[in-house]
């Protein structure tokens, strides 16, 4: 019997508009995609290091700017202004509130740097309904590393057999299942709503 609903944040509880954010800054469509892809798909996994919380925002910006010198101004702006990146999913937030009222425990398990996590969740309704959270910057470990799933379960004494995890990335779903938590990959807001209708 499932008692604990565990959610990733980006791509699950929130959507992202990083390309539009870069276009708001003044880039055209092609340059917005290019700059965003440089950061998110950096071969040295700099954004993944950002999620670990082992370097400051300025140190991460410095790392990117040394590699992508022509884009320094926009990269620094992007790192500093994460408040323009996220998009609410109010239908999901309402459904989570209903599930909380039905007696389910609600948890967050997400990869995020501290600054962005705080900016993206400061006014998010779902934060009023959560029973606990484990975010990568807190323990310097990130999904799909088994350590972060274990840290959540240990901190809140969760029974893996009574828990289900929702994430938009296949490797994170696989990591959860390898650890022993049932997991579902979420490819869209509607897929998540359909899954939550089962509870």
Tens digit of each residue's pLDDT (9 = 90 or more) over 65-97: 999 999 999 999 999 999 999 999 999 999 999
Helices (H), ranges, the chain: 18-25, 29-40, 46-52, 57-67, 72-80, 90-102, 114-121, 136-139, 146-156, 170-179, 189-196
Q: How far apart are CA 168 and CA 186, in angstroms?
A: 5
Provide the mean pLDDT of the chain.
Answer: 97
Q: Is 187 helix (H, G, I), strand (E, B) or coil?
A: coil
Residue 168 per-residue DSSP state:
S
Q: Is 113 helix (H, G, I), strand (E, B) or coil?
A: coil
pLDDT given for residue 45 in this prediction:
96
Beta bridge partners of 68: none
Q: How confident is the model at residue 24 (pLDDT cuts 50, 70, 90)?
A: very high
Q: What is the pTM of this model?
A: 0.95
Q: How confident is the model at residue 26 (pLDDT cuts 50, 70, 90)?
A: very high
Beta bridge partners of 107: 6, 132
């Amino acid at each position: 019997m499932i008692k604990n609903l565990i959610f990733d944040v980006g791509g699950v509880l929130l959507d992202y508009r990083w390309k539009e954010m870069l276009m708001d800054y003044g880039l055209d469509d092609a340059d917005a995609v290019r700059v965003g892809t440089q950061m998110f798909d950096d071969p040295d996994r700099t954004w993944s290091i950002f999620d670990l919380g082992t370097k400051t925002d300025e140190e991460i910006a410095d790392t990117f700017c040394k590699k992508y010198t022509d884009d320094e101004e926009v990269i620094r702006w992007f790192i500093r202004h994460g408040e323009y990146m996220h998009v609410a999913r109010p239908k999901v937030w309402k459904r989570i509130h209903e599930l909380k009222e039905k007696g389910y425990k609600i948890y967050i398990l997400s990869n995020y740097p501290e600054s962005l996590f705080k900016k993206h969740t400061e006014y998010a309704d779902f934060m009023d309904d959560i029973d606990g959270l484990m975010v990568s910057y807190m323990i310097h470990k990130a999904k799909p590393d088994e350590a972060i799933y274990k840290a959540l379960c240990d901190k809140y004494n969760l029974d893996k057999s009574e828990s289900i995890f929702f994430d938009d990335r296949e490797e994170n779903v696989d990591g959860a299942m390898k650890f022993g938590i049932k997991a579902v990959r979420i490819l869209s807001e509607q897929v998540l709503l359909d899954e939550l209708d089962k509870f």
